[in-house]
Structure 1
């Protein structure tokens, strides 16, 4: 796997100086909008409340982050001024409103938003979430594959890293029905692994995977605890199938559970995390008490990130040292005067 100049630079921008990803997700929409709307007893959350919370996340958590993931609806317009330019900027592209069909979920891009616009505004990477179940209908899975492939091709054209998030979800025949952005209870490790295997194919152009735990978060013991070896073997297989740098998402897991997940992921070769709710959900639960939210983010959330970062420093694999880059790791090529002649026109 060779990286073009733009992708290499974007990946470097997302990581810390040692090549480890410590990334905070601020792009969530339903997990923030829905509780606020419920508080007011309204259909929609007031824009100012959602944007204010996201701006607080950026203001108070950027120091612990190597990069932040922002959305174009709320976080970028109201919060990007709080983020120093020394931090990597990842921008989300997928619409949070998916189409639920009898055969499964259909993803789409945010209206009037694109890879080109993310590149043009100075984004360092494009993030996309796609729901996927190997046993969904053929037409649904083909739609999802085409969706991801289309974005991968655009990221290649504009020479910007493609950070791809995969989530399994309940089909109509499953017991645990929910449309919430939470971990599917009773999920099968085989579904997670098969999904990773599919999108690791070169057709999709994924540069970094953002992956969920292949085992329900509450059942992950943490390395060294009872039963950890069996769980570790599943993580090891996920890392093997990913075949490129990857990070873990929290999917609403609690703080202790997510830390346990990271101990397995790092042992399996993960290069860091891209997490949101595990970091800030406790503080957000104080809404609408803004002072208590600020206090919680500035103390409990920061302390938790410091703990995760220490674990990441000691155990995560630097992204540029991933075996996919062969001997010498990820590096700039060609490293001579021919560069300007061989570098493509991506406009």
Structure 2
């Protein structure tokens, strides 16, 4: 276990609801979001369309979210300049640099050196987030080193550190077990000092509830910090039940994007869908985690 853990727990209240639960929304998707828009048009999707969507989502959802996660590439400066995030909603900056590689939209991730932690804090950030790709066939030392550096950068700036490992296929090919990767990532990276751990939901929330819960309990036992679930790979209609199962097994809430707003994309009036259908989903999810996790 890293010596980075020999510190007092960080105050996470800037990211929490009054109940103590986390009900956070991610709008930091990048080329993956462009691909989602591209499914509904024959034209190229310009950067401006992604920025507009992110601003609309921030305005619509932040009054009901305990925190919003925003990326530098398409929206951070605009969100800050336009004060698009509601007062009382914590602002999280993505501090990861994505590269396409190995046939994946996000195949390589490093710390984004263009995100200065001190500047982000001055602009209103209370936390930084780092995505980490876990592959079963190597790279462990590099992942650990990157996470430990990220934690140090956050601590140095007085920011909460959020680490988001995701399970990916081995570069060497062959059969692999995605769920085993979710649990192995927690084992490798969950004790490196991050203040909050963001995990994929085992079995994408669609296996037997008792088995989803058992695997979530393994994450709870492995990770030193509070942890929350993400929604990528989980169907929108399944996500609430999956969140409840995970929280009853030790998770403290969610930091989710697609399960909240993805179905708004492609609708005739996206902004209206965000203000109505997406807000309704988020409010129900917030009530859920308040009930299950709340103090």
Provide TM-score, normalisation by structure 2. Answer: 0.88
Which whole-Å CA distance do the structure 2 matches of 1:37 and 1:305 have between them? Answer: 25
2:3 match: none
Contact between 2:216 and 2:249, CA under 8 Å: does it hold in 1? Answer: yes
1:212 match: 200
1:313: how far off? 0.9
**Is 2:179 the partner of 1:189?**
yes
Which whole-Å CA distance do the structure 2 matches of 1:280 and 1:231 have between them? Answer: 24
1:22 match: 23
Provide TM-score, normalisation by structure 1. Answer: 0.75
Give the RMSD, CA atoms, in angstroms.
Answer: 2.4
> Which is strand-richer, 1 or 2?
2
1:270 match: 251
Contact between 1:107 and 1:147, CA under 8 Å: does it hold in 2? Answer: no
1:172: how far off? 3.9
Contact between 1:211 and 1:246, CA under 8 Å: does it hold in 2? Answer: yes
1:148 match: 147
Which whole-Å CA distance do the structure 2 matches of 1:314 and 1:145 have between them? Answer: 35
Which whole-Å CA distance do the structure 1 matches of 2:129 and 2:100 have between them? Answer: 16
Q: 1:264 to 1:54 in 2, by over 3 A?
A: same
Aligned pairs for 1:165-180 (under 5 A) are 165-174=164-173
State the SS of the aligned residue for 1:97. Answer: strand
Which whole-Å CA distance do the structure 1 matches of 2:84 and 2:162 have between them? Answer: 23
1:121 match: 123
Alignment length, in residue pairs?
285
Contact between 1:14 and 1:88, CA under 8 Å: does it hold in 2? Answer: yes
1:41: how far off? 4.1
Aligned pairs for 1:58-69 (under 5 A) are 58-69=58-69
Provide structure 2 residue ranges, at least 5 long, that are not aligned to the other structure.
Answer: 1-5
Which whole-Å CA distance do the structure 1 matches of 2:170 and 2:37 have between them? Answer: 28
1:55: how far off? 0.6
Contact between 1:250 and 1:276, CA under 8 Å: does it hold in 2? Answer: yes
Provide structure 1 residue ranges, at least 5 long, that are not aligned to the other structure.
Answer: 177-185, 221-226, 319-347
Contact between 1:252 and 1:278, CA under 8 Å: does it hold in 2? Answer: no
Contact between 1:106 and 1:143, CA under 8 Å: does it hold in 2? Answer: no
**Bigger Rg over Cα:** 1
